[in-house]
């Protein structure tokens, strides 16, 4: 019997279009002789399964099933390709836990924790992981510019606490830049993080569960044409992503060890891609993405390719690991 697999895609955030691209790449690369695969759009206005002709079938939220040709389809596993809410922040995965449906991501609490940048930083700091200096604000909090500058210095980054794909992030070079940047970040989230600027080589490190082991993928160096690795750099070709990264053996060993430690202390499973910046050969943890981009051009698939893992193998392994648990 072939297993029924749902690829969930879309979502409720600014990252919807990127998620649709990722989900379709997964759909095109999974082995349809091994699995019966349906794409499932999770949108605020509807949850629907799609057939090959893009016909829509409403999802029954009681058990995440749907009916096609008078036959009820119940899924064995869900491949999570939703960046942002509700796939990356744990909400959808809590629902899957309630209905006892396996999925390719980490448990809902781990997903919620890592989606919250402040809480992730607090968790990893407790294990001696180096991070940038930061200040946290809720919408409506008093903004004391001098206090912010005294703590994090200039330039600094202002970013939404719960958002991905570099939406709403600004780099403030002078005091006058901070308030407009805060307004931009508040458009994405009611909680924001203001962090000190770390001047050094930025790398992205993929860590996944692969064939029962925690595997660190080849490291990618990020060289942005823009002032930092913003949305344009990430998705519109304004950056160079060099895999393997042009770093020393010492740097490589250090960041691999720390990336594996972060994955384990945060109790992760499934995909993860974390950003680090080297300052004097020491890697500083920036953030973790638990539903990284999965298109052919995305960083994690690039890293897998250098490791000799095809997209088909990468995606199939993710499903097989989920089915085992």
User: What's the confidence (pLDDT) of residue 228?
Assistant: 54
**pTM (2 decimals)?**
0.90
Are 110 and 263 in contact, with CB atoms under 8 Å apart?
A: no
User: What's the confidence (pLDDT) of residue 325?
Assistant: 82
User: What's the confidence (pLDDT) of residue 233?
Assistant: 46
Summarised one tens digit per residue, pLDDT across range 233-244 is 444 556 789 999
User: What's the confidence (pLDDT) of residue 167?
Assistant: 76
User: What's the confidence (pLDDT) of residue 221?
Assistant: 96
Task: Provide the 10 A C-beta neighbour count for residue 45.
Answer: 6
Summarised one tens digit per residue, pLDDT across range 75-130 is 999 999 999 999 999 999 999 999 999 999 999 999 999 999 999 999 999 999 99
Cα dist from 250 to 26, 279, 284, whole Å: 35, 13, 15
Summarised one tens digit per residue, pLDDT across range 144-167 is 999 999 999 999 999 998 865 467
Summarised one tens digit per residue, pLDDT across range 171-218 is 999 999 999 999 999 998 899 999 999 999 999 999 999 999 999 999
Owner of token pair 């897998």: 304
Rg of the chain over Cα atoms, rounded to whole angstroms, equals 20
Residue range 259-274: average pLDDT?
Answer: 97
- How far apart are the C-alpha atoms of 190 and 14, rounded to whole Å? 15
Cα dist from 130 to 86, 127, 184, 191, whole Å: 29, 9, 27, 22
- How far apart are the C-alpha atoms of 83 and 15, rounded to whole Å? 6
Structure tokens given for 67: 């009916």
């Amino acid at each position: 019997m072939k297993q029924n697999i749902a690829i969930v895609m879309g979502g409720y955030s600014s990252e919807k279009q990127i998620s649709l691209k990722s989900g379709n790449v997964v759909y095109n690369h999974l082995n349809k002789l091994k699995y019966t695969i349906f794409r499932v759009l999770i949108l605020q206005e509807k949850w629907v399964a799609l057939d090959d002709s893009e016909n829509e079938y409403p999802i029954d939220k009681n058990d995440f099933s749907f009916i096609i040709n008078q036959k009820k389809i119940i899924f064995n596993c869900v491949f999570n390709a939703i960046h942002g809410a509700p796939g990356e922040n744990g909400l959808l995965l809590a629902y899957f836990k309630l209905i006892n449906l396996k999925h390719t991501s980490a448990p809902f609490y781990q997903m919620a924790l890592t989606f919250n940048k402040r809480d992730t930083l607090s968790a990893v700091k407790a294990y001696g992981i180096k991070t940038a200096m930061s200040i946290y604000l809720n919408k409506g909090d008093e903004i004391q510019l001098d206090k912010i500058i005294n703590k994090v210095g200039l330039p600094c980054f202002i970013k939404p606490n719960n958002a991905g794909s570099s939406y709403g992030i600004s780099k403030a070079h002078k005091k006058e830049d901070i308030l407009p940047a805060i307004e931009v970040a508040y458009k994405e989230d009611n909680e924001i993080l203001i962090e000190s600027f770390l001047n050094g080589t930025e790398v992205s490190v993929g860590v996944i569960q692969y064939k029962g082991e925690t595997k660190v993928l080849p490291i990618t160096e990020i060289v942005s044409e823009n002032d930092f690795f913003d949305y344009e750099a990430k998705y519109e070709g304004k950056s160079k992503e060099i895999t393997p990264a042009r770093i020393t053996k010492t740097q490589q060993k250090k960041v691999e060890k720390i990336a594996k430690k972060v994955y384990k202390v945060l109790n992760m499973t499934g995909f993860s891609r974390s950003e680090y910046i080297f300052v004097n050969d020491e890697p500083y943890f920036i953030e973790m993405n638990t539903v990284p981009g999965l298109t052919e051009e995305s960083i994690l698939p690039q890293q897998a390719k250098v490791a000799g893992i095809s997209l088909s193998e990468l995606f199939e392994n993710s499903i097989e690991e989920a089915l085992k648990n």
